[in-house]
Structure 1
Amino acid sequence: MSKPIVDFHCDVLCKLLVQPELTFLHNEGGKLDVSYERLKQAGTALQTFAIYIPEHLNGSIVPILESIDLFNEKVMTCPDMHFIKTKSDLQQCLSAGAIGAMLSLEGVDGLQGNLSLLRVLFELGVRAAGLTWNHANWAADGVMEPRGGGLTAKGRELVKECDRLGIIVDVSHLSERAFWDTADLATRTIIASHSNSKSIMNHPRNLTDDQIKAIIALQGRVGITFVPYFVAGGEKVAIDDVLRHVEHVCELGGEHHLMFGSDFDGIDHYVDGLTHPGQVEDLREALLKRYTEQQTEAFFAGNALSFLAEHLPD
């Protein structure tokens, strides 16, 4: 039987939103990276489903609510799927050997600065939130925004309200200045759900050593991602290239703060041999050649699960 896997970021809800004919239970034509069958195949303990709204639909709460509806209608109706909203949900799911499903929001554009909508999303089960995608919005500048601004006044209110509610703040996609504003402001902790090391691959979406060390100091988590152009340069990116990012985070003191955030269904190019959850076992085999079984299982599940066991609402 497969050892448990936690993946802190996939974009399958976006595909279900823009291609309504797709189903999560039966992955006809293999059009989804993440599907019910593949989560079962991988031995997934928990999958975080990002609510990402493509730019041509973005700007109101409606597609966010539609994405949550799709999550309830297409994902949560599959057998043995458990919606993870509280610490007890997580414990019950793990005890039952079921597949946990958690909701995160990737970009708060659709809230339009209205924090009452954030509270509604919390009631609907959203448990993590990234403030931006790559560009600027009312809360903060994204990492690709040329001016490199930080949090706005409204963005600061948002971070404080996330902390109060128990929504985990995700700093992937934030500009560097907005990252530091958030790190300084957050009274709980922060995660980078799908970002790699800038020292290993110099891409704007990756984290500097100082940023990684700040997340470690806050007892947060860094989700190593399988986006090939965040992993390495060149046409062909291999699993060994992913391991270089794992090694570097560990060298910075992050052995207990490292997890994975695949970004499956948010990419159309792949690390060789890492195209869907069912293939993640190859990454495990590669890690076991360099790390102990205990360390490897912590990377794949233990570090993320211990974080959620502490930071999910009661």
Structure 2
Amino acid sequence: MKKLIISIGILALIYFAATIIVPPYIESQRNPVKISPPYSVSADAQALYDRLDFISDLHCDALLWGRDLTKRGTRGHVDFPRMREANVALEMFTIVSKSPAGQNMQSNSAEAFDNITPLTIAKGESPANWFSLINRTLSQSQNLADFIEEEEGKAILVKNKSDLQKLIEARKTDPSIIGGMLGIEGAHALEGDLENLDRVYQAGVRMIGLTHFFDNELGGSAHGQSQAGLTDFGKEVVRKMNELGIFVDLAHCSPTIVDDVLAMTTKPVIVSHTGVRAVLDSQRNLSDYQIEKIAENRGIIGIAFFDEAIGVPELPNIIASIKHIRDLVGIEHVALGSDYDGSVAVPFDITGFPLLVEGMLKAGFSEQEIKAVMGENVKRFFLQNLN
């Protein structure tokens, strides 16, 4: 019995040490920054950046890694202090609950080993989260709520139009006040149960990507095996999302799902993080036809920052992708959708946002167009469409 107790104690110590060492190591390997801060831009670009009233990003997976977002991190891409340094008003924090081993842009099986399971265990999360996608999702939602509560009024969880208006008004006198919204990357998190849509709504989720890297109960992924459209369950989910006021995110969806959603949705859609095929011809990215249909829907498109979506060199291609959408359907439909902390290498962390302003200035964008892309479009979109 004594040996058994000692063995259990040793295993507990090993597990405790692993929860401290393993998640930070994995995150540092999965989310590198190609150019480390600090970043510098021209005086003109910095002056314009300093005049921006509202800066926003539509996609960040920082909640996945178990980092305390109220503290400035030495790894990853986003946290509250770095948001404040970059004067970012609003970040969409997206929840990843499952990721297939061997994840790739071409074809992934829903049955592949799930990379998030060992990470969940290594983070020391409750055993209730180890094998439950919905529990992982609700846990990450609660984590953001807790981080915001710790800020004691310096951060706002935006769940409705009133919350957003409160954020906008508060920042007029205190620009250190920041906002966070909750999204889900992949509706497999609902586990095929429509009642779970109500649960995530109550938890504050206001955007859901219907698929991620594999097919699920709602239909086909752009990187899945079926390339199918919406299932009957998928159509139920979209209808109820429209009723509740949860935005449909079409990132990672099969072309057939994109068509199906645009044919039935009663609300404007979001593509939270993507590239465009005119800049990088990938099944990950939007065709001109899709961009035009999304614009007809009054939707908004966030341009991602990583090379699998926009190619290399990243910064010029980010600007080229923004320019392509502007020229095709108008500046009002394009925004930033970094995919920060999403197991991607990025050219700069969130404090490098002034580099985007400099890039757009060099490309001939007007100040009003730059303001629109950097956040005014997102502010207008949510003011018009949040409940």
Query: Fold-level match, TM-score > 0.5?
Result: yes
d(CA) in 2 for partners of 1:131 and 1:109?
Answer: 8
Matched, 1:276 2:329: no
Instruction: Name which of 203, 208, 224 aligns with 2:282.
Output: 203
Work out which of the residue numbers 114, 123, 127 in structure 1 matches 2:202: 123
Query: Which sections of structure 2, spanning at least 5 residues, go unmatched?
Result: 1-49, 100-113, 118-130, 172-176
Amino acid at match of 1:241: N
* Structure with the greater alpha carbon radius of gyration: 2
Letter in 2 for 1:178: I
Structure 1 CA distance, aligned partners of 2:249 and 2:95?
Answer: 13
Partner of 2:95 in structure 1?
51
| Whole-angstrom CA distance in 2 between matches of 1:276 and 1:174 | 26
Distance 2:336 2:330 in 1: 13
Share of identical aligned residues, percent?
29
1:155 is paired with a residue whose SS is: helix
| Preserved CA contact (<8 Å) 2:78 2:341 | yes
1:71 to 126, 144, 147: 144
Residue from 211, 228, 236 that aligns with 1:149: 228
Whether the aligned pair in 2 keeps the contact of 1:227 and 1:267 (CA below 8 Å) is: no
Amino acid paired to 1:87: K
Separation in 2 of the partners of 1:11 and 1:104? Answer: 9
Which residue does the alignment assign to 1:19? none
Q: Which residue of 1 aligns with 2:17?
A: none
SS at match of 1:93: helix
Greater RCO, 1 or 2 (C-alpha within 8 Å, sep 6+): 2
- Give the alignment partner of residue 187 of structure 1, picking from 266, 270, 285: 266
Following superposition of structure 1 onto structure 2, how do residues 107-118 of structure 1 map, counting pairs within 5 Å?
A: 107-118=186-197
Q: Distance in 2 between matches of 1:114 and 1:258?
A: 33
Q: What is the number of residues matched between the two proteins?
A: 301
Does the CA-based 8 Å contact 2:215-2:225 persist in structure 1? no
Partner of 1:252: 328
Contact 2:273-2:338 within 8 A present in 1 as well: yes
Alignment of 1:153-302 (within 5 A): 153-233=232-312, 237-271=313-347, 275-289=348-362, 290-302=364-376
Deviation at 1:75, TM superposition (A): 4.4
Q: CA deviation at 1:110?
A: 2.5
Please, which runs of 5 or more residues in structure 1 have no aligned partner?
Answer: 17-21
Return the letter of the residue paired with 1:32. Answer: G
Q: Deviation of residue 12 (structure 1)?
A: 0.1
* 2:61 and 2:96 in contact (8 A); partners too: yes
SS in 2 for 1:159: helix
Q: Is 1:39 paired with 2:83? A: yes
**Which letter does structure 2 place at the counterpart of 1:257?**
H
Aligned to 2:127: none
8 Å contact from structure 1 (residues 48, 102) kept in 2: yes
Residues 148 and 156 of structure 2 are in contact (CA less than 8 Å); yes or no, is this contact kept in structure 1?
no
Runs of 4 or more above 6 Å deviation: none
Q: Is 2:160 aligned against 1:86?
A: yes
